[in-house]
Structure formats: structure tokens, C-alpha cells
Amino acid sequence: MDVVDAELRDGSPTGERMNAEKVRVIACGAIAREVLAIREANGLSHIDLLCLPAIWHAHPEKITPGVEQAIAEARAEGFSRIFVGYADCGTGGLLDRLCEREGVERIAGPHCYSFFAGNEAFAAKDDDVTSFFLTDFLARQFRAFVIEPLGLDRYPQLKDMYFGNYEKLVYLSQVEDEGLQQKAKEAADYLGLTYEYRFTGYGDLTGELLRAR
């Protein structure tokens, strides 16, 4: 686990009271930049962020047990308020069942592409069924999080098997950055897909963090 923002945790009653007043947000490392930016822009100093490994984006079976452990650790540290910074993210409802059992909430939506785009807007886009999505994080980490986990660096012939049914790569950008746009275009070219750029900003994530109190 990667603690992005370490607060006072000395085991003292004062430390426990401080933790009880804060909200431990247990989030995917792939949205760490965005959570910190929203926290800073909105004065959400009560948010104490702990990020789980971003590579679990490619291994969703690890998310629910990882979040369960992080919740137990947060409570041991004295946090009475906990918010899960994941959508369902491929857990097939297991994360929802954990949240219900533990009495905590998570980010609404099926995955980060949806809440960045806005869940309602994403659900209304019927033509996205053949789209492959990137966020800022995935544009930066395309090789480490797409090419290498899928083995395309070793077996490029697998590219058609994985992406043959896609028609376009849609880059959902959180910040307007020409360098990241170029990376996303290169990813589209690598996969042989049409490139489409959509600036989303932080979408529904801001509102979700604003209610994490």
C-alpha cells in the first residue's frame, strides 16, 4: 500500500481524535493525482488519502480484498469515517457487498471512465461500445498498464485478438496537456484505432469527494 498523505498517527488519544475528525479515502493509485488536485482546489483538508496499487486496474480480483484490509487498518488507526475511492472497477459487485457489510460508501459508477465522463453522460453514449478508453493516468502509463500486462511487447500478434473489435480509442482527459494528447494519439496509432479526444475534467469525482465527509 502507498500512503500518499501521512497524518499524525502516534497511537495517542490526541492522534485518535484527529483521525476521527478526518475521512480516510481508500483510493486506486490511478486517480491519486486527481484526488489530491480536487482536495487542494476545494479545501478538503479533512481528506486523508491512502492509495492502493494502481496496477490492480489490470487485476480487479485484488481490489476487494485489498480494500477490506485497508478498511480494517483505517479503523485500527482511529478513523471513524471511511470512503472508498473506487467505482465497481471490474469486481462484479463484490466491492459493493463489502461496502454494504462495512457500512461505507464508494464512488458511484461502473469504472473510472464513467465517473470521469459523468456517469449519466457515459451511460447515454450508445456508440462507445466499440471504444477503448484512456484517462490521463493511462495515457502516461500506456506501456506499463496496457502493452506489458497484455504481453503485446512480447507477442505483438495478440494485438488483433485483444483490439480487433474496437474501432476507436477515446482519450478522456482530466487536464488539457498537449504532451498527454500526443501520447494518447501514439497509443491509438499503435493499436490501429481511430483517435478521439474528449476533455472531461474531473467529472463526477469532485462531487463524490465533496460528499465524503
Predicted pLDDT of residue 28: 98
- Is residue 199 classed as helix, strand or coil in its secondary structure? strand
Predicted pLDDT of residue 20: 64
Whole-number average pLDDT of the chain: 92
Average pLDDT over residues 160-175: 97
What's the pLDDT tens digit per position in 121-140?
999 987 889 999 999 999 99
Domains detected in the chain: 2-107 (3.40.50), 113-199 (no CATH)
Give the single-character DSSP code of 6.
-
**Do residues 132 and 170 make contact, with C-beta atoms less than 8 angstroms apart?**
yes
- Is residue 200 classed as helix, strand or coil in its secondary structure? coil
Q: Taking 60 as the threshold, does the pLDDT of residue 89 lie above it?
A: yes
Average pLDDT over residues 149-165: 96
Predicted pLDDT of residue 17: 59
Could you tell me which residues are beta bridge partners of residue 25? Answer: 49, 83
Predicted pLDDT of residue 195: 98
Q: Which of these, 209, 201, 18, lies nearest to 118 by C-alpha position?
A: 201
What's the pLDDT tens digit per position in 70-79?
999 999 999 9
Residues sharing a CB contact under 8 Å with residue 79, sequence separation 6 or more, in sequence order: 19, 20, 22, 23, 24, 48
Q: Taking 70 as the threshold, does the pLDDT of residue 68 lie above it?
A: yes
Predicted pLDDT of residue 144: 96
Could you tell me which residues are beta bridge partners of residue 173? Answer: 199
